[in-house]
């Protein structure tokens, strides 16, 4: 499983790359058998205007399951990455649990025996 990091409007310092890779690897590590690849895009939405404008978009391609895509917007890049890592771990746990749970079967109603 590989994690691709794209930075748009945010300085892609090696420290940030290491942080995002380490944080996402920890969050999705136990699901690595279910993931083909992960893409993380960190962007500054408003540019120099400031405000709640750091966005972290996570896209996961899963094996035999629908893709997972979501975006988190925060004041700080690290806060956005942290919240995205927590959410990705929660969503993956739900998806995997649903596939491993046996399907509910409907039991046919019992017929009354003739007297």
Q: Give me the CATH number covering residue 81.
A: 3.30.160.100
In the structure encoding, which two tokens stand for residue 66, read together?
């629908």
Is 103 inside a domain boundary? no
> For position 107, what pLDDT does the model report?
73
> For position 84, what pLDDT does the model report?
94
CA distance 48 to 64: 41
pLDDT in tens, 66-104: 889 999 999 888 999 999 999 999 999 988 888 876 666
Is 73 inside a domain boundary? yes
Q: Which domain holds residue 59?
A: 2-98
Is 50 inside a domain boundary? yes
Full-model pTM: 0.77
Is 105 inside a domain boundary? no
Per the structure, the count of domains in the chain is 1
Q: Which residues contact 47 (CB under 8 A, 6 or more apart)?
A: 9, 53
> For position 79, what pLDDT does the model report?
93
Is 113 inside a domain boundary? no
Q: Which residues contact 2 (CB under 8 A, 6 or more apart)?
A: 37, 38
Q: What are phi and psi of 9, to 5 degrees?
A: 80, 0
Q: CB count, 10 Å around CB of 92?
A: 20
Name which residue leads in pLDDT, 105 or 73.
73
């Amino acid at each position: 499983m590989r994690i691709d990091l794209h930075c748009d409007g945010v300085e892609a310092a090696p420290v940030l790359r290491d942080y995002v890779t380490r944080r996402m690897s920890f969050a999705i590590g136990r699901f690595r058998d279910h993931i083909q690849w992960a893409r993380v895009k960190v962007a500054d939405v408003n540019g120099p205007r400031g405000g709640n404008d750091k966005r972290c978009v996570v896209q996961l391609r899963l094996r035999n399951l629908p893709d997972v895509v979501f975006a988190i917007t925060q004041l700080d890049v690290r806060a956005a990455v942290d919240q995205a890592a927590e959410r990705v771990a929660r969503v993956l746990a739900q998806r995997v649990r649903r596939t491993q749970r046996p399907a509910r079967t409907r039991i046919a109603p019992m017929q009354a025996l003739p007297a």
